[in-house]
Amino acid sequence: MARILAGVVASLALLKTCAADFASYNASEYSIAKAGLLANIGTNGAKPGIVIASPSTSNPNYLYTWTRDSSLVFKLLIDQYTQGRDTSTLQYITDFVTAEGVLQGVSNPSGNVDETAFTGAWGRPQRDGPALRATAMITLGNYLISKGNTSYPTNTLWPKIQIDLDFVSQNWNNTGFDLWEEIDGSSFFTIAVQHRSMREGAAFATKQGDTTRATSYTNSGNALLCFLQSFWSSSSSALIANTNVNDGRSGLDINTILGVIHTFDPAAGPDATTFQPGSDKALLNHYTTVNSFRGSLYSINSGIAAGSAVNLGRYKEDVYFNGNPWYLATLAAAEQLYDALYQWNAAGTISVTSTSLPFFTQLVPSTTVGNYASSSTTYATLVSAVTTYADGFVTLAQKYTPSGGQLSEQYDKAAGTQLSAVKLTWSFASAITAFDAKSKFVPASWGAKGLTATCTTVAVTFKEVATTVLGENIYIVGSISQLANWDTDNAILLSSASYPTWSVTINIPASITFQYKYIRIDNGVVTWESDPNRSLTTPTSGTYTENDTWR
């Protein structure tokens, strides 16, 4: 008995030491990350208010600015300012507003830190930046209005905000490059942040007395929310990161977890329609995406048990710098779970559905489907398990953070040493937002509560003229779930009733753009028609017929 008691005491002492170490890292790294982030604003030749991605000038050269990164950084600073947690950054914030106003008038603005046009080769267009920038400025504007300051929001912010929101409203249905600037298609992250910008943009336009824009943004928001649903794949148990492109990837990408945390609304509850962090679909996506990095993909993950945190990269097929974990990816996984814990606490319950069950059973195998009130033992058990799991991702980031606390872009998948750009601003920001989420500092609501996706569909008839041999059939696949997400095993068969014209009618969401191709299948052998992919934008309502010929 004495030996058992001694073991218990030792275990408790170890837990206490680990908890103290975890808290110490959070506190020290928070300060280092904040200092590193601010040191990358308006420095190294950058104009005031311009965020540099990294001071690194070789292997790789990241001495550039991106609207996406800049807006995420300043959304963080604006949140802290409006919450009264750091009012010392006001000059940085006003410089950002001024600088972004200049960049709005520059062709290809993401790139040069001196506010001149970037003329080099890069993945363009990138359509997430305007939405994120509008969100940051709207957050500031709403706060100032609540404090009685209507002049700056109306005269300085609103002219810039409406430029970005008009762009989103008019261009959301066009493809563009994803947040990694690699895939030209429709990105979950982009569509999610665009949807958010339309909702809060409509409310802000109403405050400015612009009912015409408010209506336009609301209509775009409705269409975006409908389109957002198409990224969910029940067969993959995940959100597919990129559609409208056949990129040969699994679709599992930290893109989706980043989209979830950057559209977190603390007032919405664990709502699945907007893929809130604590919702069943967001949790299953977390489970599936994280598990795609388990095993031997990264040596530093080998031997880590199921149900424990692992180091995460962008996507498992990544070859950039030979494919490694990223700090912002590992920390994003923690942040989603901290946000989920906040939502469950606010709701006073955890709802375990058949969709979210795999997420919970990996942590607590005895979990069953049900609603568990905060007063229940099961609720307490699940909260404890999820908290430990979330903390595990931060602990991994801690393990591979050097003693000086600086955060690069990546760390080596075998040795854990830092790689790629040094002192990456987004890495610093991801640490801060994860720590804030752990401490239950949450952003303002953006209006996600109670939203429903009422999706109008259009009956699209595809007709393909193609001659075939006996036993050969014509099928269609494409970039949306209604067309099997390019999966030839689930391709849709066309009817040969009017041979040589093959046809099929499929209900597809209105006002969306997608890509597709016809294929021949003969005894299991698939033959694709020639490139390029076909593209179609559905009308707003009614029916539509597309007439094609095999090529």
Q: Report, as residue numbers or ranges, the catalytic residues.
A: 178, 181
Distances (CA, A) of 535 to 228, 342, 538: 19, 42, 10
Amino acid, single-letter form, for residue 59: N
State the Cα–Cα distance between residues 116 and 463, nearest whole angstrom. 48
In the block, tokens 């890069």 appear at 122
Distances (CA, A) of 426 to 138, 164, 167, 258, 500: 21, 22, 25, 12, 55
DSSP 8-state class, residue 156: I
State the Cα–Cα distance between residues 438 and 442, nearest whole angstrom. 10
Largest Cα–Cα distance of the chain, in whole Å?
Answer: 86
DSSP-derived pairing of the beta strands 232-233 and 238-239: antiparallel
- Adjacent-strand bridge partners of 57: 61
State the Cα–Cα distance between residues 444 and 441, nearest whole angstrom. 10
State the Cα–Cα distance between residues 70 and 425, nearest whole angstrom. 9
Distances (CA, A) of 333 to 357, 361, 386, 389: 18, 18, 11, 10
State the Cα–Cα distance between residues 240 and 233, nearest whole angstrom. 7
φ/ψ of 496, rounded to 5, equals -100, 20
- Adjacent-strand bridge partners of 421: none
What is the SS3 assignment for 9-35? Answer: HHHHHHHHHHHHHHHHHHHHHHHHHHH
- Adjacent-strand bridge partners of 503: 463, 495
Q: Are 475 and 233 in contact (CB under 8 A)?
A: no
Go through the chain and tell me how many residues it has.
551
In the block, tokens 């854990």 appear at 416
